[in-house]
Amino acid sequence: MTLDYSSPYLRGSIAAVLSVLQHSTCPENTVFHFLADPHHHPHLRKTIISTFPYLGFHLYTFNPATVNHLISSSIRRALDQPLNYARIYLADLLPTTVTRIIYLDSDLIVVDDIAKLWKINLNSHVLGAPEYCHANFSHYFTSKFWSNPFFSATFRNRKPCYFNTGVMVIELTKWRTQGFTQKLEHWMRIQKRYRIYELGSLPPFLLVFAGNVEGVEHRWNQHGLGGDNLEGLCRDLHPGPVSLLHWSGKGKPWLRLDAKKACTLDNLWAPYDLLRHESLISDS
């Protein structure tokens, strides 16, 4: 998980951590790995320890310069922030003794035992996530991508499906040995030159992994609760059971609650909002 001390997303991150702990059968066995800008480490460490005194965690440095030169502007400014791309570098930043992780975005809550997700069998795959094969996959790339046979050939012999990168189970050892960080960066360089997509850090993951993902039950990413990337209107849950609610999209529950324009599902996030009573973002 990433932590941004200078952003309201820290509020979401704290809520996500609390939700994981509250629904874990053995929370003492859960270790959190946080990525953050080095300038914010002292404040973040103080915030984490004061909020969760017994939390097992490690705080790692993510230098924005690692990826700044590879970022292209997207349809929403929040998608262009360097920390949004930090998930690409997890295998490089975490020690080699860490062989499997669950990556979680900051705009979600877990309402089930996270150990169930941890234990899924990835078989031969590097990455596991809920797949949505009914989605129109062509919408995630520009006409320039699809009209260029060199680009579109990347999906040859694959049956690509959309998956949301806000919840992923990743085998880091396989990631490292197969050089997936470099493969993702390759497509980001192509994007800088040819403009083949509009959606921030998601499309490189689709280009590299779509069609080679271990499918996970949809209950583990009830995404899209923040609406689309332009208006962020209210949305309902997808049909079926729920283990994780994810406010991907423009509308974030903390913003709508503060504005007293909450969607119905935002009220499910509210009990995990530790900022209701006092600010965790303080220089004191």
Its sign, for the CA torsion 219, 23, 100, 95, is: positive
Distance CA 135, CA 125 (A): 22
Q: What is the pTM of this model?
A: 0.94
Distance CA 188, CA 183 (A): 9
pLDDT tens digits, one per residue of 167-207: 999 999 999 999 999 999 999 999 999 999 998 999 999 99
CATH match of 9-276 with 3.90.550.10: yes
Of the candidates 276, 169, 166, 179, the residue with the CA atom closest to the CA atom of residue 214? 169
- Asked if residues 86 and 2 have their Cβ atoms less than 8 Å apart, the reply is yes
Task: Report residue 241's pLDDT band, with 50, 70 and 90 as the boundaries.
Answer: very high
Least confident among 37-51, 122-136, 196-210, 269-283: 269-283
- Report pLDDT for 278: 52
In the predicted model, is pLDDT for residue 117 greater than 60? yes
Domain locations in the chain as residue ranges: 9-276
In the predicted model, is pLDDT for residue 122 greater than 50? yes
Least confident among 154-158, 172-176, 228-232: 228-232
**DSSP character at residue 236:** P
- Report pLDDT for 279: 47
Helix or strand or coil: residue 127? strand
Task: Report residue 74's pLDDT band, with 50, 70 and 90 as the boundaries.
Answer: confident
Least confident among 176-180, 221-225, 242-246, 280-284: 280-284
In the predicted model, is pLDDT for residue 219 greater than 70? yes
